[in-house]
């Protein structure tokens, strides 16, 4: 029997985000072990441990290396665009907060550091929130042109385009900060500009450097200009490679790419790149001229260069027509067997099963308001990928259960919902209404 919604009487909504609110999903009260095993290592837990079993189970999957998986094909496509770059894809997701944030000049009070936003094993170890976390390490190894693909982790809401694990590609190129390096940069610029000149692409640009997007004090502005230009040319050709086939397929319908000034703690000037697709501008990546402090820490002060970071799921959803981000994690042969390594094909939906909505109405303790991300992690930990989204429109969180692979029975959903409610009471100290 298919499930029908049972609406709980309404009282207190899920509190809005309170940055820095601290909560343990698997807190001591619920028997958090003193140590946890992760990828063969054993790590002590502490007061800020907030990794959940549901998240830790994802660490070994490494979808970007699974043959024929859309994320793996997309990675390979990007790597093929940069044939003379080093291609890295096996760095551990466990990093220190120092590496994830401090080495990249993130201020001490940056919201990304909050336990509500990031996953911590303990105060000294976390799951990387972005591939930029490895910049210093890779530059230190002496790599001057490299791509790094990896799984990254962020605590977030639940809907069709957010998942707490996703994949990024980081790319970087550095030049010697001298006449020889700048000659190399100029030659690369001439080469790339020539390739782009004959292509069906319209680029909306912003100045390489401006008062609001400044050159770094230690940089020669002429060097910074050349490097920013190299970054833009390099990424414009990548956008053409990725989207030229879908968005720029005719003379009347050129690929449209636009550059926007941005801010990142570890680059200046900084930019975002958007691509016009199906009537909308879509944000594709962030990038910029690498902060000299990063290169100094890596022991390569004599270099100047650029870096970018892009999210693979967003691009794969567009290119393959994949409607829900959970599908990337599906083990269903009806999903996996559709794809071949190296080929981008349009996803054929195999079925849409019914939704089952359940409201959760509760009072949150006044002194310890429940953070939305804590609520979502708890729900994911209990229900896994059968949660499609958590809606908040009515002020009472409404969990939408829908499997991508099968129909859910009323009994099953009621059982899961009962576990959600019981863990909310036991671990979060909320009062169910
Ligand atoms: N790490 C950034 C993020 O996850 C993306 C990014 C921006 C990467 C600028 C870069 C960069 O290398 O230069 O949002």
Query: If you measure from the C-alpha of residue 61 to the centroid of ligand 1, how many angstroms do you get, rounded to a whole number?
Result: 23
H-assigned helices in 292-401: 292-297, 312-320, 333-336, 372-383
Question: Is there a single domain that holds both residue 19 and residue 71?
Answer: yes
DSSP state string for 228-252: HHHHHHHHHHHHHHHHHHHHS-BTT
Please, are residues 300 and 139 in contact by the beta-carbon 8 Å criterion?
yes
- 82: pLDDT confidence band, cut at 50, 70 and 90? very high
Query: If you measure from the C-alpha of residue 427 to the centroid of ligand 1, how many angstroms do you get, rounded to a whole number?
Result: 35
Neighbours of 204 (CB within 10 A): 12
- Helix, strand and coil in the chain, % to nearest 5: 35, 25, 40
Q: What φ, ψ does residue 31 adopt, rounded to 5°?
A: 85, 40
User: Taking residues 173-189, what's their average pLDDT?
Assistant: 98
| CA-based end-to-end distance of the chain | 27
Please give the Cα distance from 196 to 190 (Å, whole number). 10
User: Taking residues 37-49, what's their average pLDDT?
Assistant: 97
Question: Is there a single domain that holds both residue 100 and residue 7?
Answer: yes
Question: Is there a single domain that holds both residue 270 and residue 395?
Answer: no
Q: What is the CATH number of the domain that holds 360?
A: 3.30.70.380
Number of domains into which the chain is organized: 2
Residue 345 resides in a domain: no
Please give the Cα distance from 78 to 285 (Å, whole number). 13
Neighbours of 109 (CB within 10 A): 9
- Contacts of residue 331, defined as CB under 8 A and 6 or more positions apart, other chains included, come to none
Residue span of the structural domain in which 368 resides: 356-432
Query: If you measure from the C-alpha of residue 133 to the centroid of ligand 1, how many angstroms do you get, rounded to a whole number?
Result: 10
Minimum-distance ligand 1 atom for the alpha carbon of 129: 4
Contact 305 CB / ligand 1 (< 6 Å) = no
- Contacts of residue 352, defined as CB under 8 A and 6 or more positions apart, other chains included, come to none
Please give the Cα distance from 20 to 364 (Å, whole number). 16
Single residue among 307, 336, 365 that ends a domain in this structure: 336
Query: If you measure from the C-alpha of residue 304 to the centroid of ligand 1, how many angstroms do you get, rounded to a whole number?
Result: 17
H-assigned helices in 270-409: 292-297, 312-320, 333-336, 372-383
What is the model's pTM? Answer: 0.91
Single residue among 336, 368, 397 that ends a domain in this structure: 336
Tell me, what's the pLDDT at 9?
A: 26
Residue 349 resides in a domain: no
pLDDT, tens digit, 9 for 90 and up, residues 237-271: 999 999 988 766 677 789 999 999 999 999 999 99
| Atom 4, ligand 1: residue with shortest CA distance | 130
Minimum-distance ligand 1 atom for the alpha carbon of 266: 13
Tell me, what's the pLDDT at 249?
A: 63
Contact 309 CB / ligand 1 (< 6 Å) = yes
Packed helices 312-320 and 70-81: angle between N→C axes, nearest 10 degrees? 100
| Sheet with 120-122, side-by-side order of all strands | 94-95, 125-127, 120-122
Tell me, what's the pLDDT at 247?
A: 67
Minimum-distance ligand 1 atom for the alpha carbon of 132: 1
Query: If you measure from the C-alpha of residue 271 to the centroid of ligand 1, how many angstroms do you get, rounded to a whole number?
Result: 10
Contact 130 CB / ligand 1 (< 6 Å) = yes
Contact 269 CB / ligand 1 (< 6 Å) = no
Which of 111, 264, 268 for a ligand 1 pocket mutation test, highest count of atoms within 8 Å of Cβ?
A: 264
**In a 3-state reduction of DSSP, which class is residue 36?**
strand
pLDDT, tens digit, 9 for 90 and up, residues 368-416: 889 999 999 999 999 999 999 999 877 789 999 999 999 999 999 999 9
Question: Is there a single domain that holds both residue 360 and residue 293?
Answer: no
Contact 181 CB / ligand 1 (< 6 Å) = no
Residue 250 resides in a domain: yes
Q: What is the CATH number of the domain that holds 219?
A: 3.30.930.10
Query: If you measure from the C-alpha of residue 232 to the centroid of ligand 1, how many angstroms do you get, rounded to a whole number?
Result: 15
Question: Is there a single domain that holds both residue 320 and residue 264?
Answer: yes
Question: Is there a single domain that holds both residue 176 and residue 322?
Answer: yes
Question: Is there a single domain that holds both residue 95 and residue 228?
Answer: yes
Sign of the torsion formed by the C-alpha atoms of 312, 313, 318 and 320: positive
356-359 vs 120-122, strand pairing mode = unpaired
Contact 71 CB / ligand 1 (< 6 Å) = no
Question: Is there a single domain that holds both residue 327 and residue 385?
Answer: no
Please give the Cα distance from 272 to 288 (Å, whole number). 8
| Atom 5, ligand 1: residue with shortest CA distance | 309
Please give the Cα distance from 353 to 356 (Å, whole number). 10
| Atom 11, ligand 1: residue with shortest CA distance | 287
Please give the Cα distance from 291 to 304 (Å, whole number). 9
Query: If you measure from the C-alpha of residue 219 to the centroid of ligand 1, how many angstroms do you get, rounded to a whole number?
Result: 20
Query: If you measure from the C-alpha of residue 126 to the centroid of ligand 1, how many angstroms do you get, rounded to a whole number?
Result: 18
Tell me, what's the pLDDT at 4?
A: 32
For residue 15, pLDDT beyond 70: no
Query: If you measure from the C-alpha of residue 155 to the centroid of ligand 1, how many angstroms do you get, rounded to a whole number?
Result: 17
The count of C-alpha atoms lying within 13 angstroms of the C-alpha of 84, restricted to the half-sphere facing its C-beta, is 3
Q: Is the peptide bond before 91 cis (omega within 30 degrees of 0)?
A: no
Question: Is there a single domain that holds both residue 9 and residue 114?
Answer: yes
Percent of all residues in the chain with a pLDDT value above 90, rounded to a whole number: 84
Neighbours of 238 (CB within 10 A): 22
Contact 294 CB / ligand 1 (< 6 Å) = no
Enumerate the β-bridge partners of residue 167. 151
For residue 120, pLDDT beyond 60: yes
pLDDT, tens digit, 9 for 90 and up, residues 265-300: 999 999 999 999 888 999 999 999 999 999 999 999
Residue 287 resides in a domain: yes
Question: Is there a single domain that holds both residue 328 and residue 383?
Answer: no
């Amino acid at each position: 029997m298919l499930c029908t919604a049972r609406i709980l009487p309404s009282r207190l909504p899920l509190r809005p985000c309170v940055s820095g609110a601290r909560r343990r999903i698997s807190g001591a009260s619920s028997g958090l072990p003193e140590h946890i095993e992760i990828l063969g290592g054993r790590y002590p837990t502490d007061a800020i441990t907030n990794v959940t079993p549901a998240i830790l189970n994802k660490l070994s999957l490494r979808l970007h290396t699974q043959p024929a998986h859309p994320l793996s094909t997309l990675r390979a496509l990007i790597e093929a665009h940069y044939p003379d770059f080093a291609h890295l894809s096996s760095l551990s997701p466990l990093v220190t907060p120092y590496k994830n944030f401090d080495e990249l000049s993130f201020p001490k009070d940056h919201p990304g550091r909050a336990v509500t936003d990031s996953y911590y094993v303990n105060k000294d170890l976390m799951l990387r929130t972005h591939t930029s976390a490895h910049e210093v390490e890779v530059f230190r190894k002496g790599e001057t042109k490299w791509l790094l693909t990896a799984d990254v982790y962020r605590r977030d809401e639940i809907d069709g385009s957010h998942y707490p694990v996703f994949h990024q590609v980081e790319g970087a190129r550095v030049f010697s900060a001298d006449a020889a390096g700048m000659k190399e940069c100029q030659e690369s610029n001439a080469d790339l500009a020539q390739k782009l000149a004959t292509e069906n692409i319209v680029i909306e640009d912003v100045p390489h450097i401006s008062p609001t997007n400044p050159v770094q004090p230690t940089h020669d502005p002429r060097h910074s200009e050349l490097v920013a230009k190299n970054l833009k040319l390099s990424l414009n050709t990548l956008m053409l490679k990725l989207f030229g086939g879908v968005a720029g397929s005719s003379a009347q319908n050129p690929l449209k790419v636009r550059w926007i000034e941005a801010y990142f703690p570890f680059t200046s000037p900084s930019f975002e790149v958007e691509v016009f697709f199906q009537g909308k501008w879509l944000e594709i990546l962030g990038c910029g001229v690498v902060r000299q402090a990063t290169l100094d820490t890596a022991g390569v002060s004599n270099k100047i260069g650029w870096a970018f970071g892009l999210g693979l799921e967003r691009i794969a959803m567009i290119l393959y027509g994949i409607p829900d981000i959970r599908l990337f994690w599906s083990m269903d042969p009806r999903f996996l067997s559709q794809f071949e390594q190296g080929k981008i094909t349009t996803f054929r939906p195999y079925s849409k099963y019914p939704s089952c909505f359940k409201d959760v109405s509760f009072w949150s303790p006044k002194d310890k308001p429940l953070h939305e991300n804590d609520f979502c992690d708890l729900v994911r930990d209990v229900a896994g990928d059968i949660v499609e989204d958590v809606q908040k429109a009515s002020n009472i969180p409404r969990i939408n259960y829908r499997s991508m692979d099968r129909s859910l029975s009323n009994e099953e959903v009621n059982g899961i919902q009962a576990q959600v409610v019981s863990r909310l009471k036991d671990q979060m100290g909320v009062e169910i209404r």
